[in-house]
């Protein structure tokens, strides 16, 4: 609507100018009424043409002055994307990869991949209180996945009763269609209920038998894979993943610690492997060798000859994984966060890396000699990116990943995954292992790069430094701000934190641990609107009160390179009177310009939507001189009905523009920074199938202006597991 009024005002001005010119011409020439009528028709034609061309111009400007791209996922969306966090994987002899995961925002909890491509989806795993799981297998006729089904009240359609969850094995055709069977449960009769206490932890097939790990009952249960009738069961202590060798013997991960062999009837065999640090997945290769994914410090695939007693005969992957050589640097044989291993009949090895704390999918097919044959990425979920200002946007960071950007490449091909910045072995108290940050600020302080991360509820901000000589590409925990109302931190982590109030942690001794004497404490209003880190490294915070601005000037870097912030040096500033509920803040010390957003007296909030920007954005010049009178203020899309159909989630200022993105439609509204006037909108283009999920985070947009004048705008897009990247000409 604002765009419409802006165009209308342009049209009105143009018509007035033309009428004025024509009137002067008629008066000067003393033209007869005939000519006046002629010019009147001309004016009307001009008005119509201006109206049409103005509307078309907006479309053409949108089409020609910006392009849509993305990063973090191999595919752009539509029917193809790589799912979030593969937690189980089975590879068939012909190289088809079947996967399972608990959750994928777009509904691809279970998927089918082959030859580096998405070739299918296992249907109906999402919504209606359904979730995927951490087990999957297949034979020459069916796919079997672990799936949980919760209650939705439709017991007449064979959903669970209230407060009950079914943990099931669900059967599908090889095309991913549900395959019902006599006695099957659920609305389409394709579910085999295993129990209602805990999920299925392992699946495998051999001949016409399906083996199921029922950890809740400490059993492996055996079913006919065609009729799905139970044949027998046998006791196994906390069984997990299962692999079946060429003799029909089962190899089972138990207690997540050891691998034990069993006969098909359940007799424990003498073969046992107990010296793997953290076995996370197993498979049998074409030579009847056992492949074990070791998710401990070695981050390797261990290869065992199992003809008699198991004997380790080799490894696959670089010892130490991604932390070998240059720590964090991505290479084909440097593995990390292993959740799946498999092999095809040709001897190729397939490995899935999830990183740590569900960082994202990195699925690889490699030859037996270690040559990468294909690689698929679904690295980002509820995440946004920011550019390193010193690299002119050539290096981009998300909360755990570092990308190199080549702007000369086609859309979706511009990014290269270069580094994984989290090391759980060296820094086990890294906040990213214990929380869920989702937006990144990249800043340079005294020439050194730093990451500042915040979360979906603006409850904290985390700080990371780099030391390439000792830690390669890994980001080292350096500091953290936490707010009063962050109960999850108080209950679980970190150690030694103050019992109440806000706190600032700084890694004073440089070991990356939260030690007892490293906290600074304060008590303040608990409800935060947003965070900002300016170009000097000063941290800003908005509270939703009358004195709602907190400014933490950078006090320098300590001996270990950690930024220093203190409550003693904190400055309080009042909220400008136009705002009743202050939400976002961005300050630019180079020009002494402040941009604030929130709800105002003129445009109040409906209800209490804590994640949105508010109803207005305002600019204040000469902020440090005490000027609280806005240079301009502009109304942005916001909820006026209580239905939240229209709301703005996030804003970002760069160069001559203020960018703001709406929650549900993910439209980017572009305002001129000097006037606040809306100049255009950006929408997901055909490169990403014209689609986006909702913007779920308060810093879901981040803009950067390159030295050539081009704007790069990053927008969170968790539906299909990526970050949208707009490129906008100056």
pLDDT one-digit tens code per residue, 597-616: 999 999 999 988 888 999 99
> Which pLDDT score, from 0 to 100, does residue 8 have?
40
- 19 has pLDDT over 90: no
- 451 has pLDDT over 60: yes
- Give the mean pLDDT of the chain: 91
Separation CA 90–CA 100 (nearest Å): 9
* CA 698 vs CA 73, 207, 382, 660, 692: distances in Å: 22, 52, 11, 11, 16
Tokens 């869920």, located at residue: 436
Task: Give 52's pLDDT tier (boundaries 50, 70, 90).
Answer: very low
As a whole number, mean pLDDT of residues 249-258 equals 96
Q: How many residues does the chain have?
A: 730
Tens-digit pLDDT profile for residues 191-225: 999 999 999 999 999 999 999 999 999 999 999 99
- 252 has pLDDT over 90: yes
Collapsing DSSP to helix, strand or coil, 716 comes out as strand
CA-angle at 467, arms to 481 and 416, nearest 5°: 95
Could you list the residue range(s) of the whole structural domain that residue 16 is in?
2-71
- 166 has pLDDT over 70: yes
- Residue 28 inside a domain? The answer is yes
> Which pLDDT score, from 0 to 100, does residue 666 have?
97
Tens-digit pLDDT profile for residues 655-667: 999 999 999 999 9
Tens-digit pLDDT profile for residues 263-299: 999 999 999 999 999 999 999 999 999 999 999 999 9
- 64 has pLDDT over 80: no
Separation CA 152–CA 128 (nearest Å): 7
- Residue 83 inside a domain? The answer is no
> Which pLDDT score, from 0 to 100, does residue 730 have?
77
What are the residues whose beta carbons fall under 8 Å from the beta carbon of 517, sequence distance 6 or more? 508
- 491 has pLDDT over 80: no
β-bridge partners, 151 = none
- Residue 156 inside a domain? The answer is no
pTM for this prediction = 0.90
Separation CA 464–CA 421 (nearest Å): 10
> Which pLDDT score, from 0 to 100, does residue 490 have?
67
- 3 has pLDDT over 60: no
Tokens coding 640:
């006026």
- 194-215 burial: b if 16+ Cβ within 10 Å, else e: bbbeebbbbbbbbeebbbbbbb
> Which pLDDT score, from 0 to 100, does residue 167 have?
98
- Residue 44 inside a domain? The answer is yes
- 431 has pLDDT over 90: yes
Tokens coding 85:
């966090």
Task: Give 59's pLDDT tier (boundaries 50, 70, 90).
Answer: very low
β-bridge partners, 586 = 595
Q: What total of structural domains would you count in the chain?
A: 1
Separation CA 482–CA 464 (nearest Å): 15
6 phi/psi in degrees, rounded to 5: -65, -45
Collapsing DSSP to helix, strand or coil, 3 comes out as helix
- Neighbour tally for 703: CB within 10 Å: 23
> Which pLDDT score, from 0 to 100, does residue 486 have?
65
> Which pLDDT score, from 0 to 100, does residue 62 have?
42
As a whole number, mean pLDDT of residues 57-63 equals 34
DSSP output for 302-341? EEEE-SSS-EEEEEES-TTGGGSSSTTB--TT---SEEEE
As a whole number, mean pLDDT of residues 362-380 equals 98
Beta strands in 408-526 (DSSP E): 415-420, 437-445, 448-455, 460-466, 475-482, 502-506, 519-522
Quick one: which of 576, 574, 434 has its CA closest to 505? 434
Tens-digit pLDDT profile for residues 552-588: 999 999 999 999 999 999 999 999 999 999 999 999 9
What are the residues whose beta carbons fall under 8 Å from the beta carbon of 543, sequence distance 6 or more? 524, 525, 527, 528, 529, 549, 550, 582
Separation CA 669–CA 701 (nearest Å): 11
Torsion of CA 439, 596, 605, 680, to 10 degrees: -80
- 356 has pLDDT over 70: yes
- 12 has pLDDT over 50: no
- Percent of the chain past pLDDT 70, that is, above it, reads 90
- 238 has pLDDT over 80: yes
Choice among 37-41, 351-355, 383-387 with the minimum mean pLDDT: 37-41
- Percent of the chain past pLDDT 90, that is, above it, reads 86
> Which pLDDT score, from 0 to 100, does residue 361 have?
98
DSSP at 23: H
As a whole number, mean pLDDT of residues 617-634 equals 98
Q: Give the rounded distance of the alpha carbon of 274 from its chain centre.
A: 36
Separation CA 244–CA 213 (nearest Å): 13
Separation CA 529–CA 612 (nearest Å): 9
- 40 has pLDDT over 90: no
Separation CA 345–CA 610 (nearest Å): 54
Q: Give me the sign of the Cα torsion angle 79, 81, 86, 89.
A: positive
216 phi/psi in degrees, rounded to 5: -65, -35
Q: Pairing relation of β-strands 111-114 and 166-173?
A: unpaired
Give yes or no for a contact between 329 and 394, defined as CB atoms under 8 angstroms apart: no
Torsion of CA 371, 377, 383, 386, to 10 degrees: 50
Give yes or no for a contact between 724 and 405, defined as CB atoms under 8 angstroms apart: no
Tokens coding 565:
């912030």
> Which pLDDT score, from 0 to 100, does residue 483 have?
84
Separation CA 519–CA 503 (nearest Å): 6
- 13 has pLDDT over 70: no
> Which pLDDT score, from 0 to 100, does residue 609 have?
85
The residue ranking higher by pLDDT, 664 or 49, is 664
Separation CA 225–CA 204 (nearest Å): 10
Task: Give 163's pLDDT tier (boundaries 50, 70, 90).
Answer: very high
- Residue 15 inside a domain? The answer is yes
- 132 has pLDDT over 60: yes
């Amino acid at each position: 609507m604002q765009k419409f009024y802006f165009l209308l005002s342009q049209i009105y001005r143009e018509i007035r100018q033309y009428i004025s010119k024509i009137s002067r011409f008629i008066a000067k020439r003393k033209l007869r009424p005939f000519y006046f009528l002629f010019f009147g028709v001309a004016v009307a034609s001009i008005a119509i043409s201006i109206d049409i061309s103005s509307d078309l111009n907006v479309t053409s400007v949108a089409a020609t002055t910006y392009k849509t791209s993305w990063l973090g996922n191999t595919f752009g969306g539509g029917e193809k994307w790589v799912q979030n966090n593969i937690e189980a994987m089975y590879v068939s002899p012909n190289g088809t990869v079947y996967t399972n995961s608990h959750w994928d925002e777009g509904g691809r909890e279970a998927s089918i991949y082959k030859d580096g491509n998405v070739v299918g989806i296992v249907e109906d795993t999402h919504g209606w209180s359904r979730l995927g799981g951490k087990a999957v297998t297949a034979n020459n006729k069916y796919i079997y996945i672990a799936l949980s089904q919760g209650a939705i009240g439709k017991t007449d359609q064979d959903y669970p009763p209230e407060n009950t969850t079914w943990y099931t094995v669900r059967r599908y055709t090889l095309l991913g269609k549900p395959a019902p069977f006599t006695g099957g449960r659920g609305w389409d009769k394709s579910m085999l209920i295993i129990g209602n206490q805990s999920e299925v932890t392992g699946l495998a097939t051999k001949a016409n038998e399906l083996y199921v790990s029922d950890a809740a009952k400490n059993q492996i249960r055996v079913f006919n894979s065609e009729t799905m009738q139970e044949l027998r069961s046998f006791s196994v202590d906390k069984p997990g993943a299962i692999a079946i060798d060429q003799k029909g013997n089962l190899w089972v991960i138990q207690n997540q610690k050891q691998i034990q062999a069993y006969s098909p009837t359940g007799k424990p065999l003498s073969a046992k492997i107990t010296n793997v640090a953290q076995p996370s997945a197993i498979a049998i290769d074409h030579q009847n060798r056992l492949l074990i994914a070791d998710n401990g410090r070695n981050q390797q695939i261990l290869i065992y000859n199992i003809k008699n007693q198991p004997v380790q005969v080799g490894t696959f992957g670089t010892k130490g994984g991604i932390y070998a050589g240059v720590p964090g640097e991505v290479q084909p044989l440097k593995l990390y966060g292993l959740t799946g291993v498999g092999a095809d009949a040709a001897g190729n090895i397939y490995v899935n890396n999830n990183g740590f704390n569900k960082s994202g999918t990195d699925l690889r097919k490699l030859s037996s000699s270690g040559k990468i044959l294909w690689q698929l990425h679904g690295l980002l979920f509820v995440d946004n990116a920011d550019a390193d200002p010193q690299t002119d946007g050539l290096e981009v960071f998300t909360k755990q990943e570092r990308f190199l950007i080549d702007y000369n490449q086609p859309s979706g091909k511009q990014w290269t995954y270069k580094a994984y910045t989290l090391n759980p072995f060296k820094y086990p108290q890294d906040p990213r292992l214990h929380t869920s940050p989702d937006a990144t600020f990249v800043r340079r302080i005294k020439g050194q790069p730093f990451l500042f991360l915040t979360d979906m509820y603006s409850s904290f901000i985390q700080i990371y430094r780099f030391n390439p000589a000792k830690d390669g590409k890994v980001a080292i925990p350096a500091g953290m701000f936490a707010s009063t109302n962050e109960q999850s931190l108080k209950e679980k982590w970190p150690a030694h934190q103050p019992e109440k109030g806000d706190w600032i942690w700084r890694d004073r001794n440089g070991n990356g641990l939260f030690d007892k004497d490293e906290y600074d404490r304060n008590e303040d209003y608990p409800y935060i609107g947003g965070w900002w880190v300016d170009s000097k490294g000063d941290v800003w915070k908005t509270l939703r009160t009358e004195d709602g601005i907190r400014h933490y000037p950078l006090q320098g870097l300590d001996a270990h390179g950690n930024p220093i912030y203190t409550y003693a040096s904190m400055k309080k500033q009042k909220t400008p009177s136009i705002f009743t509920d202050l939400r976002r803040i961005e300050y630019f010390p180079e020009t002494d310009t402040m941009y604030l957003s929130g709800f105002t007296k003129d445009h109040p909030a409906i209800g209490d939507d804590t994640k949105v920007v508010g109803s207005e954005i305002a600019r204040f010049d000469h902020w440090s001189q005490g000027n609280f009178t806005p240079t301009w203020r502009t109304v942005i899309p916001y909820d006026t009905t209580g239905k939240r159909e229209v709301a703005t989630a996030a804003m970002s200022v760069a160069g001559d523009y203020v960018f703001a993105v709406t929650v549900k439609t993910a439209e980017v509204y572009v305002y001129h920074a000097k006037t606040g006037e809306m100049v255009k909108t950006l929408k997901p283009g055909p490169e990403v199938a014209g689609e986006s999920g909702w913007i779920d985070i308060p810093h879901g947009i981040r803009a950067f202006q390159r030295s050539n004048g081009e704007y790069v705008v990053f927008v969170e897009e968790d539906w299909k597991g990526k970050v949208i990247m707009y490129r906008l000409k100056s």
